[in-house]
Amino acid sequence: MTWAEVGAAVLEVAEREWRRPVVEPNRDGQVRAGAGRINEYIRGALGLGWPTAQVGVPSVAYTRNGQFAWCGAFAAYCWGAGAGLRADLRRLACPSTFRLWELARQQGRTWKRCG
């Protein structure tokens, strides 16, 4: 698979997930339809694969808005489902978008901001 094909596969998963009903649970813990998808990004085998969505508390699902900054977990899921990126690499690079940016910067794969 070429890098272009890998990128296309990851983007295909991201776009598919974007079209799904992915919503935050309410702050009071009431889980709404589509909120379970975020838990899959954080705790699922194709996402980060973390055992918990709450630091310091084992085996907790994502049930409350603001409980976990899951943007990096979404990226992990896209890379896991789209490109089959190894779980250890997803856990290393994807827990936060800052870590993703830092990895890209170290590899010389960033660009300067315009404006």
For residue 114, tell me if it sits in a domain. no
Q: At which residue do the structure tokens 């901001």 appear? A: 113
pLDDT in tens, 21-66: 888 887 666 667 777 899 999 999 999 999 988 877 888 888 888 8
If DSSP states are collapsed to H, E and C, what string results for the chain?
Answer: CCHHHHHHHHHHHHHHHHHCCCCCCCCCCCCCCCCHHHHHHHHCCCCCCCCCCECCECCCCCCCCCCCCCHHHHHHHHHHHHHCCCHHHHHHHCCCHHHHHHHHHHCCCCCCCCC
For residue 115, tell me if it sits in a domain. no
User: Per the structure, how many domains does the chain have?
Assistant: 1
Domain range for 85 is: 3-106
For residue 93, tell me if it sits in a domain. yes
pLDDT in tens, 3-27: 889 989 999 999 999 999 888 887 6
